[in-house]
Amino acid sequence: MTDSTRRDFAARYGPWALVTGASSGIGAEFARQIAGRGVNVVLIARRTERLTTLANEIQNRHGVDTQVIDIDLTLDGADTRVAGGVGEREIGLLVNNAGLGRSGRFIDQRANDHARMLDLNCRAPLLLAHWLAPPMARRGHGGIIFTSSLSGLMATAQLAHYSATKAWDHFMAQTLHAELRHEGVDVLSVCPGPTDTEFFGDGEFQPSRWPKAARQQMSRPSDVAQAALDGLGRTSVVVPGVSNKIIAAARRLIPERYIARLTDRAMRRVMRVRSGP
């Protein structure tokens, strides 16, 4: 990236960016790469130690300022606490990246876990966007990124609620893109497929049990963040990875009810392998 490109990015999306879910994975890469483009970064997640380590790394490597806000975005009033922590800093870029997922049958999961997923994947991005979009529109520039998912583009059984929340993120990004482009605010939905992050945890849908070819197709967090930042202001949707682009295009040719059945069958096979004979 040239110095001119970095200056243009910082002028349009600076002086500060706010990144949620910044303690690991795609969120941490967003923070690193935004800082590399000359923008100061507010880092938001629950894990204070990880955020502090990342903040020090970013400051030392890129010479930008950082702020750490350790908070659980599913809590009532979290958005107000974030606003209080940010204070008078001018946020020119919001990255709604924090997210939670659970695999398995919808009815086998606890209602409280579903509610928490809804709060983190949908309610928190809604409140943060509603807070930060108006001043961006008044200034005539800024950007908002929603981290959706390939599962947000198609009905994915055994990831039923996660798929639904990511569809919400995707369509919110698309509608805000249409509404805010007139005010100079760029909005993007980034829809990664399986990515090498902590997302899978110790649940049923373990990459270690996937076919080798599927594991090799996993994206790197750095590639997802770069694709999103490169696409911001140029398009409204980014699907990183060639194989994911093919899947995203093919899904338009198949009715949703059939996609749900196909994903159910595929996911059941994967999870049966994990549970053994």
Cβ neighbours of 273 (radius 10 Å): 14
Q: Report the C-alpha gap between 13 and 186 in whole angstroms.
A: 9
Q: Report the C-alpha gap between 178 and 241 in whole angstroms.
A: 25
Helices (H) and strands (E) in the chain, counts: 11, 7
258 carries an active-site annotation:
no
Residue 149 backbone dihedrals phi, psi, to 5 degrees = -170, 160
Residues 6+ apart with CB under 8 A from 93: 13, 14, 16, 17, 18, 34, 39, 142, 143, 144, 145
270 CA to centre of own chain: 25
- The owner of tokens 């696409």 is 231
Which of 136, 143, 142, 128 minimizes the C-alpha distance to 190?
A: 143
Which of 44, 42, 38 minimizes the C-alpha distance to 12?
A: 38
Helix (H, G, I), strand (E, B) or coil at 14: coil
End-to-end Cα distance, the chain: 52
Question: In the structure encoding, which two tokens stand for residue 226, read together?
Answer: 């770069």
CB of 242 closer than 8 Å to CB of 144: no
User: CA 46, 48, 53, 56 torsion: positive or negative?
Assistant: positive
Identified catalytic residue from 162, 199, 205, 210:
162
CA-based max dimension of the chain: 61
DSSP 220: P
Q: Would you please indicate which residues are annotated as catalytic (active-site) residues?
A: 162
